[in-house]
Chain A
Amino acid sequence: MGLAARPDGRTVSYEPQSSEGWVATRLDFLVNWGRANSLWPMPFGTACCAIEFMATAASRFDLARFGMERMSFSPRQADVLICAGRVPFKLAPIIRRIWQQMPQPKWCISMGACASSGGMFDNYAVVQGIDTIIPVDVYVPGCPPRPEGLIYGIRMLQEKVLNERRMDNRLRDEINPDPASQLYIPPSVIDELGEPFGNSVHQTRQAP
């Protein structure tokens, strides 16, 4: 169909005159190009930033322009976790669980000062940055970031996706924390702790 990568390897050109039906490009580029332009976000909106995220998705800023209008509220069908808002300690196991439920390849945007660093909440209740729990690809500063800021962060993420190499295993390898460190929890324990109790059909009891 006449789809060809330009010599710079960064764009695809399409020539309707050609009817030979071939594509010539780097596999990396084609895959990344497809991924970058159809990222499905998983909006983990907790606080103020979620309102700005909604504004970004609504009519004026129109997130659909970047192939992101398909909000996936189920982590299992999502590519990007957008953590919008502060994350208190009570929410820490939940955001980690959501991250574990997302299939590879996955990325994470930390939206706003609170998600990135705890922000103005330097106290007993708030996690000082979600990067202490899950890996973060793009930090969007602001309290809350304006929609333009979030869009800039999304463009940066797309840039990052476009530059990934399939052969680079380090990118997608999930490495367990050092067993000697305090943060290490064995996988069996994680499964046991993280498994939700109530969504199973076995959670029944006899009616009185």
Chain B
Amino acid sequence: MSSGNRTIEVELFTTGLDAAGRPQRTPLVTNDGGSQLTIAAPEAMEPELSADHMLINIGPQHPATHGVLRLVLELDGETVVRCIPHIGYLHCGFEKIGEYRQYNQIIPWTDREDYLNSIGNNVAFALGAERLFGIDVTERCTVLRVIASELSRIISHLVWLGTTCIDIGAFTPFLWAFQERENVYNLLEGWVGARLTTSATRVGGMAADIPAGWMDGLRHFIRTFPHTIDEIDRMLTRNAIWVGRTVGIGVMTPDEAINWGLSGPMLRASGVAYDVRKDFPYLDYETYDFDVPVGTNGDVYDRFLVRMEELRQSVRILQQAADKLPEGPLNVDDARVILPPKSKATSEMESMIHHFKQVMEGPRPPAGESYVAVESPKGEKGYYMVSDGTSKPVRWRIRPPSFVNLAAIPKMVEGHLLSDVIAINASIDIVMGEIDR
């Protein structure tokens, strides 16, 4: 199994064809002679229309803002001169609440913070807390967490795909994407009992092992899901409207992307091959054979291609994880964090006291701090926890990838048309729950 840092560049298609009939990137405006022609706007059209700048407000309640984002746009005609985003309409004080909760009690909050990636957040938080306790989880738990993370990447990208399609004017892929999401929900429901807010992990292990027969369901999903990707791919990737709305829109160069702190598919679409799973691995991701798709144009279309390819790579990882899932204990054998078995807790005095102290006081990590980042579907998701030796963290900081990605929107929309703002905003894959926390 390869453990190198491989990177593949995504092959890009558009509706344009070259002489040999192969797809190529072409602007949509061509003349009948075959060579490309750019139509310049007539001089006379410009002046008096652009006299006044207009202020237009999008949101906080707007179908295309993916939540309660608010954008104030200064327009010159239909061109965006300046964009001022306003956030905070969903600020719910997660980080403050974290200071009043024990480590295991924080896990339900991680579900609701980036709610498209609930189970992935559970995994990330558990990894961070385990670093504070100095715990390495068991082999079986590691593989199950990889399965959880990749399933959650798939459902998150599917929501992105569906809602972006609606924004740009296609409704059918939304239905297909949500049909597949229901399949994943069925799997998650069979595992942890909840569809969306899973709370699947605990410090030192998982809340539950997978039930009997669950792996067959996963294998069935692995077999059938690529067909859906192919269908959506056929429908969108060479679609003239899709390409026309996305190519060349919202370009970020690699240097800009790094400097603005973009991460995840946003960064990789700009041609920076940085993936936390490859470069700062966790959960033994280095033992899986998968590729990191990288775009080379940095526009909305490349972000779409990168995410589509990530869906396929996630299926690859799921396949390998399903093949290598070992038998063995699920939770670590560490009395500091793991509850005694129920039969003992109700029959033995020591176990009962231990159980009581675990639940009422909570596990206490030594004083210290940890910053654990994982590759969430949106980018580098970090949990920074500071402990002072008590059972509740002094500080629980979430490094939200879409918060940082969204901060670059004024840069990306400048000079584009108003309708492109919607496409660019959709391409960032924002989740307001994570941005505002």
Chain A residues near B96 (CB, 8 Å)? 123-124
Question: Are the C-beta atoms of B179 and A44 separated by less than 8 Å?
Answer: no
Instruction: Give the total of B residues in contact with A, Cβ under 8 Å.
Output: 46
Once bound together, how far apart are the Cα atoms of A207 and B196, in whole Å?
Answer: 49
Once bound together, how far apart are the Cα atoms of A45 and B64, in whole Å?
Answer: 12
Given A47-B112, A52-B196, A126-B92, A203–B54 Cβ distance below 8 Å? yes
Question: Are the C-beta atoms of A47 and B53 separated by less than 8 Å?
Answer: no
Given A47-B432, A94-B60, A204-B54, A143–B88 Cβ distance below 8 Å? no
Q: Which of A11-19, A53-61, A152-160, A182-190 interfaces with chain B?
A: A53-61
Question: Are the C-beta atoms of B115 and A207 separated by less than 8 Å?
Answer: no
Given A59-B178, A59-B179, A91-B60, A207–B92 Cβ distance below 8 Å? no
Chain B residues near A197 (CB, 8 Å)? 55, 57
**In chain B, residues 104-154, which have Cβ atoms closer than 8 Å to a Cβ of chain A?**
108-109, 111-112, 115-116
Question: Are the C-beta atoms of B56 and A199 separated by less than 8 Å?
Answer: yes
Question: Are the C-beta atoms of B196 and A51 separated by less than 8 Å?
Answer: yes
Question: Is B211 located at the chain interface by the 8 A CB criterion?
Answer: no
Once bound together, how far apart are the Cα atoms of A42 and B196, in whole Å?
Answer: 22
Question: Is B72 located at the chain interface by the 8 A CB criterion?
Answer: yes
Chain A residues near B55 (CB, 8 Å)? 197-198, 203-204
Question: Are the C-beta atoms of A207 and B93 separated by less than 8 Å?
Answer: no
Question: Is A196 located at the chain interface by the 8 A CB criterion?
Answer: yes
Once bound together, how far apart are the Cα atoms of A75 and B178, in whole Å?
Answer: 26
Once bound together, how far apart are the Cα atoms of A164 and B233, in whole Å?
Answer: 49
Shortest distance from the beta carbon of B426 to any chain A beta carbon, whole Å: 14
Shortest distance from the beta carbon of B89 to any chain A beta carbon, whole Å: 5
Question: Is A98 located at the chain interface by the 8 A CB criterion?
Answer: yes
Question: Are the C-beta atoms of B91 and A198 separated by less than 8 Å?
Answer: no
Chain A residues near B378 (CB, 8 Å)? none
Interface residues of A (CB under 8 A from B): 44-48, 50-52, 54-55, 58-60, 71, 73, 75, 85-86, 88, 90-91, 94, 98, 120-121, 123-126, 143-144, 146, 196-199, 201, 203-207
Interface residues of B (CB under 8 A from A): 50-57, 60-63, 67-68, 72, 76, 88-93, 96-97, 108-109, 111-112, 115-116, 159, 162-163, 174-175, 178-179, 181-182, 185, 195-197, 432-433, 436
A-B contact pairs, 20 of them (CB 8 A): A46-B68, A48-B111, A51-B116, A54-B162, A55-B181, A55-B185, A58-B162, A58-B179, A58-B182, A71-B63, A73-B63, A75-B61, A94-B89, A143-B197, A144-B196, A144-B197, A196-B57, A198-B55, A198-B72, A199-B56
